[in-house]
Amino acid sequence: MATDPGTRAGTPTMDAASLYREEVYTDRAVGTLRVLVPVTASGAPDPSRATVYTGEAQLMTNVGPLPISFDIPASTLAEAVAKYAEAAKDGVARTMQELSDLRRQASSSILIPQAGALPPGGPLGGGGKIQLP
């Protein structure tokens, strides 16, 4: 082998200073809260970093459920639960805006055939005796 697999560019490595323990809470009706508790490399709580609260929900569409994830600005689990509804509304609004932007971009894209992609005589095949210079 030419290079050691551990030294190849693009080898994923975890940052021991940025570890979190994930806890999942749900009411089994509306949504899910993911709590990311910062921990040290030994697994002990790291009080020097803030806990991250993330909400998750699903928006039903005509092609199936669309997962939505959103951050909840909170300092406790109780506060995150209380702020879930407002953060979910903001997350849904942001997702709808992103979908609208994607639709607009898709409808305004122009397809240009690559050189040599058209058959001789034009797109319909041609073959007539009249030739344009």
In which residue are the tokens 């997702």 written?
A: 95
DSSP letters for 80-103: HHHHHHHHHHHHHHHHHHHHHHHH
The confidence score (pLDDT) of residue 113 equals 62
Q: What angle do CA 7, 18, 73 make, to 5 degrees?
A: 145
The confidence score (pLDDT) of residue 84 equals 97
Spans of all domains in the chain: 18-103
pTM of the model: 0.67
- Over the chain (133 residues), what is each successive 10-residue block's mean pLDDT? 56 92 94 96 95 93 90 97 96 91 82 60 57 59
Give the whole-angstrom CA distance, residue 56 versus residue 88: 8
The confidence score (pLDDT) of residue 56 equals 95
User: What strand order describes the sheet that includes 19-26?
Assistant: 19-26, 32-39, 52-61, 64-71
Q: How many CA atoms lie within 13 A of 127 on its CB side?
A: 3
Nearest Cα to Cα of residue 52 among 89, 20, 78, 26: 20
The confidence score (pLDDT) of residue 131 equals 58
The confidence score (pLDDT) of residue 108 equals 79
